Amino acid sequence: MVLAMVIIDVRRFEALIFDLDGVITQTASIHARAWKQLFDEFLARRVTETDRTFVPFDLENDYRRYVDGKPRLAGVASFLAARGMTVPTGAPGDQADQGTAQGLASRKDHYFAELLTREGVHVSASAEPLLREARRCGMRTGIASSSHHCAEILHAGGLTALFDARVDGIDLDRLGLAGKPAPDMFLEADGVSTHLLRGRPCSRMRRQASKPLAQAISDLSSASDPQRARWSYSSMVRIRL
């Protein structure tokens, strides 16, 4: 596949908002493996309790189709529904062996943290140069991620200082925002970035996003092909003064 050159005209935009996993950092594969470990264990237990055939979680298709970019509880519900299963929602603090979505989500978080500690954070090669160039040109930068580990990942990758605004899985829970493909995270990050551009103190209150960006995000989230509804940045991006 040949990628077209993307040129960012700083005269038209005041801020850039990025996804995290698979865009700024190569952590999507860690999420996928944490989900696989969780679901394969869960499915194996179900096989012993029922007459179902064990079909393992697929790192590529199942991950992208059912859990990629979604908040943890939504990911649990989405994948299990695809397998014709449901579990009670449960409560925060539940353990995985309690058979609740909260317990499973917590266990997935534990597996992800273990993998992250063991393997570290790999930053996309062109991410830091692009962020530094954008900031040199006077643009604000924001990050939006469903991950509860967003701040930890940015810190480990030495990227924290390169973002003016961050909206992550913790904010999704606190503010009641919908996860992807809904545009809520990006609109929230845009609101924070807009607030910063106006020179006001930054808070995490929800704000109305700029209309051009809001329309672009809405168009993106409603794309018929879910693979096209993913933003990625590479060396094919240039900033034009």
Active-site annotation, residues:
19, 21
In the Cβ-directed half-sphere of 88, how many Cα atoms lie within 13 Å? 10
CB neighbour class for 197 (10 Å; exposed up to 12, middle 13-18, buried from 19): middle
DSSP 85: -
State whether residue 106 is helix, strand or coil: helix
Measured CA to CA, the distance from residue 123 to residue 26 in angstroms comes to 6
Cβ–Cβ < 8 Å for 76, 70: no
- For 93-123, the DSSP string reads T--GGGT-HHHHHHHHHHHHHHHHHHH---B
Class of residue 93 by CB neighbours under 10 A (exposed 0-12, middle 13-18, buried 19+) = exposed
Could you tell me which residues come within 8 angstroms of residue 174 by beta carbon, excluding any fewer than 6 positions away? 204
Q: What is the C-alpha to C-alpha distance for residues 185 and 237, in angstroms, rounded to an integer?
A: 23
Residues 152 and 131: beta-carbon distance below 8 Å:
no
